[in-house]
Amino acid sequence: METSRDDFVIALRSAFLKKGTQQRFSLLSLIFFSIIFLILGNFNFKVINYIKLGINEIVYRSSFIVSVPENLLKDSYITLQNHNKLYKKNEKIKFELEILKAKDLSNEFIILENQRLKSIVDDYLVKSNTIIAKVLSDKGSPFLRSIIINKGSKHKINLGMVVMDGAYLVGKVVEVNYLSSRVLLLSDLNSKIPVIVEPNAVFSILSGTGKNYGIIQYSKKYDDIKSESVIYTSGSGNLFKAGIPIGKINNNFLSDEKKVEFFSDFSQLRFVKVLSFLKSETE
């Protein structure tokens, strides 16, 4: 048994030695072939040139295939970066467009008023300091629409102050506490404010519905109110200054009511501006 085992070990060693000899011979053969190929490359043999072209073609093709995944990942990363930049740029443009639209609406109101040679109420009003407030919660019910803000009498908030979302009117302060206040939104069922509908200068009342839109009521020129007409505060009753944009007429509803689509989305309010307009002492 021991003799057969020794024979097996000797045979295994012999096989490895033969394999190592073959590897060394293959390496030497490759080096020798490379040297000959380099020497022959100095001579203008067509066969050598064809072989060189073939090897170059294989190397180039292999490099291209190997680089495909890397290039794909790189291109995907660049595409995602460009998409992200484009998205941020688009959001910025949308924000700037909303600001310009609000300014355009305000300018349109002033132009229309000047064309009728009518004094604008804002000429006799001075604006108080603007207070920025955060919306703490909203009190939504089937009919009532109001929000709670984090500013109160401590911050010089008073009853009846105007509440705006950017350049758009959203409501007025109806309850003041020391550190908080409640704002009645224009969509509330109890909200009724005097407005003017442009471009036909139709004076009327905007009433809340308890839903996400308002309706035009108590107007003598109801039929003159057309779709896409813009709603502004009229300044009547000294509740609000004239010319604050509110919304536009949307006749896509099934009923015959003149429904107003608000410019601001009251469900998305996060921060609001609180201010008031007082009679100038130099009036």
What pLDDT, in 10s, does the model give residues 223-279?
A: 778 888 899 998 877 778 888 999 998 876 556 678 899 999 988 899 999 998 766
Average pLDDT of the residues in 111-126: 54
pLDDT at 124: 45
pLDDT reported for residue 177: 93
Q: Which residue has the tokens 């108590």?
A: 218
Q: What pLDDT is recorded for position 144?
A: 74
Q: How far is CA 63 from the centre of its chain?
A: 43
Average pLDDT of the chain to the nearest whole number: 76
Calculate mean pLDDT across residues 191-217.
Answer: 89
Task: Render pLDDT for 152-201 as a digit per residue (tens, 0 to 9).
Answer: 999 999 998 999 998 899 999 999 999 999 999 999 999 999 998 888 88
Tell me how long the chain is.
283
Given a contact cutoff of 8 angstroms between Cβ atoms, the answer to whether 246 and 195 are in contact is yes
What gap in Å lies between CA 213 and CA 205, rounded to an integer? Answer: 14
Q: How far apart are CA 185 and CA 159, in angstroms?
A: 14
Q: Which long-range contacts (CB under 8 A, 24 or more apart) does 258-262 make?
A: 258/215, 258/216, 258/222, 258/225, 259/213, 259/214, 259/215, 259/216, 260/206, 260/213, 260/214, 260/215, 260/216, 260/231, 261/213, 262/168, 262/170, 262/186, 262/187, 262/212, 262/213, 262/214
